């Protein structure tokens, strides 16, 4: 139990200094060999019988008006000293923990090792396939300008992908020129443009990353998702090189029995363009519910880089004081892009894309 606090007979400066110095010395002596932090807290800061509570009742309430300010200042200094001592005791390193009554020889709590999120794991698997083919990884910002996201990739000004129904545009961009307006990138293709402007061919890069579109969330769509795109530019690059590269990649990801087929398609930045399907890995191409009885699953898009893209890149290189390096008469290239969520859903038999973003540990622990 706390000792009673004697009443003060004088409230002059020297008397106050002496009285609070005695209390401060008590605090220092107790914290020098502090064994029970909680007992110390209750002794000094207890709401009913703590020594600071007793000091307040014995000295502050009975003090004359002219002595309350200097007395209150010393009271606050003493309280800060006590709180600092408590903070030091609670944050003491393990080597000093024995002073607080903790046996540091006991086993510590076991931390479960972390695991990659299924999307990150799938994305790394895809990137690793292309690393083995000699591709390097290139990254870029998620906030892009209209030039890199659309204009340099041959999207005309009236293309529907530029509409705010598809694109998340940053606020306050109306006063800027169209090409300088900022938006959340809708694909990782801007990194291809940035790489070609910075480097001359040959180029072989794979571009993983997060992208954003103004899509309503449902079982197969999310406003935030991930892509892995690739670009190969050199002399004498043909569509046969593109087909062989993607066929190898699909076999590396889904097994050597998987077949690929290409269908004509359209993308502003490639010509010719194609959609790529793989034989259904669930029914081996015989037809099932997952492939809608077709025996095939559409997985990615690709094509030969449009000469208009090379012209835009060279124009920007000249503007930056660099030499032209992308003459479509001398070099060629191909590009491809695939959704990471799409591949992960096929690999693991997941029917709802939202499960990747739900944060449900019961779902995520299946991939540990």
pLDDT digits (tens, 9 = 90+) for 43-52: 888 877 788 8
Report the chain's C-alpha Rg in angstroms: 34
Please, what's the b/e burial string for 263-277 (b: 16 or more CB within 10 A of its CB; e: otherwise)? Answer: eeeebbbbeebbbbb
Assess whether pLDDT exceeds 70 at residue 1. Answer: no
Of the candidates 84, 85, 83, 79, the one whose C-alpha atom is nearest the C-alpha of residue 32 is 85
List Cβ neighbours of 230 (8 Å cut-off, separation of 6 or more). 130, 135, 205, 206, 207, 245, 335, 336, 337
User: Which of 131-140, 156-165, 188-197, 222-231 is predicted with the least confidence, judged by mean pLDDT?
Assistant: 156-165
The Cα 167–Cα 153 span in angstroms is 15
Mean pLDDT of 364-368: 83
Question: Cα torsion at 25, 31, 33, 37 (round to 10°)?
Answer: 150
Mean pLDDT of the chain: 88
User: Which of 102-111, 145-154, 272-281, 356-365 is predicted with the least confidence, judged by mean pLDDT?
Assistant: 102-111
SS3 300: strand
Instruction: Answer yes or no: are the C-beta atoms of 81 and 51 closer than 8 Å.
Output: no
What is the reported pTM?
0.68
pLDDT in tens, 337-347: 999 999 999 88
Of the candidates 270, 330, 336, 331, the one whose C-alpha atom is nearest the C-alpha of residue 304 is 270
The Cα 310–Cα 331 span in angstroms is 9
The top-scoring range by mean pLDDT among 22-36, 144-158, 237-251 is: 237-251
In Å, what is the CA distance from 124 to each residue of 114, 205, 228, 264, 314?
16, 14, 10, 29, 32
List Cβ neighbours of 274 (8 Å cut-off, separation of 6 or more). 262, 263, 264, 265, 301, 302, 303
Mean pLDDT of 152-171: 86
The Cα 346–Cα 200 span in angstroms is 37
pLDDT in tens, 78-119: 888 888 888 887 776 555 444 456 677 878 777 777 788 999
Instruction: Answer yes or no: are the C-beta atoms of 325 and 354 closer than 8 Å.
Output: no
Assess whether pLDDT exceeds 60 at residue 350. Answer: yes
Of the candidates 75, 17, 15, the one whose C-alpha atom is nearest the C-alpha of residue 45 is 75
pLDDT in tens, 177-199: 888 999 999 999 999 999 999 99
Mean pLDDT of 324-353: 93
The Cα 71–Cα 89 span in angstroms is 28
Q: What is the pLDDT of residue 94?
A: 52
pLDDT in tens, 264-321: 999 999 999 999 999 998 888 888 888 888 999 999 999 999 999 999 999 999 999 9
pLDDT in tens, 25-78: 888 888 777 777 888 888 888 877 788 888 888 888 778 888 888 888 888 888
Q: What is the pLDDT of residue 2?
A: 63
Phi, psi (degrees; rounded to nearest 5) at 302: -160, 180
List Cβ neighbours of 15 (8 Å cut-off, separation of 6 or more). 8, 9
Q: What is the pLDDT of residue 290?
A: 80
């Amino acid at each position: 139990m706390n000792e009673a606090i004697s009443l003060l007979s004088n409230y002059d400066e020297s008397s106050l200094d002496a009285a609070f110095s005695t209390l401060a010395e008590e605090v220092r002596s107790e914290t020098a060999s502090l064994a029970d932090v909680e007992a110390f807290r209750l002794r000094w800061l207890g709401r009913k019988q703590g020594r600071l509570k007793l000091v307040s009742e014995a000295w502050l309430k009975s003090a004359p008006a002219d002595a309350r300010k200097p007395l209150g200042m010393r009271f606050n200094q003493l309280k800060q000293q006590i709180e600092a001592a408590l903070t030091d005791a609670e944050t003491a390193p393990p080597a000093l923990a024995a002073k607080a009554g903790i046996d540091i020889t006991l086993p510590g709590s076991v931390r479960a090792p972390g695991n990659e999120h299924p999307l990150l794991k799938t994305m790394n698997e895809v990137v690793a396939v292309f690393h083995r083919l000699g591709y390097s990884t290139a990254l870029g910002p998620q906030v892009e300008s209209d030039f890199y996201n659309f204009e340099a990739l041959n999207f005309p000004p009236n293309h529907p992908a530029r509409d705010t129904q598809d694109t998340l545009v940053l606020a306050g961009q109306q006063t800027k020129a169209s090409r300088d307006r900022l938006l959340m990138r809708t694909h990782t293709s801007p990194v291809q443009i940035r790489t070609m402007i910075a480097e001359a061919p040959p180029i072989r890069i794979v571009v993983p990353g997060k992208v954003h579109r103004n899509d309503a969330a449902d079982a197969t769509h999310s406003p935030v998702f991930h892509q892995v795109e690739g670009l190969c530019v050199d002399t004498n690059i043909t569509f046969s090189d593109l087909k062989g590269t993607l066929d190898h990649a699909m076999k590396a990801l889904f097994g050597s029995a998987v077949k690929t087929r290409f269908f004509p398609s359209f993308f502003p930045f490639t010509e010719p363009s194609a959609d790529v399907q793989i034989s259904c890995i669930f029914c081996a191409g015989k037809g099932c519910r997952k492939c809608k009885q077709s025996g095939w699953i559409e997985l990615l898009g690709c094509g030969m880089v449009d000469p208009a893209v090379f012209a835009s890149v060279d124009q920007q290189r000249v503007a930056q004081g660099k030499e032209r390096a992308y003459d479509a008469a001398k070099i060629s290239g191909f590009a491809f892009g695939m959704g990471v969520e799409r591949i992960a859903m096929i690999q693991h038999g997941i029917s709802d894309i939202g499960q990747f973003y739900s944060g449900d540990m019961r779902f995520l622990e299946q991939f540990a």
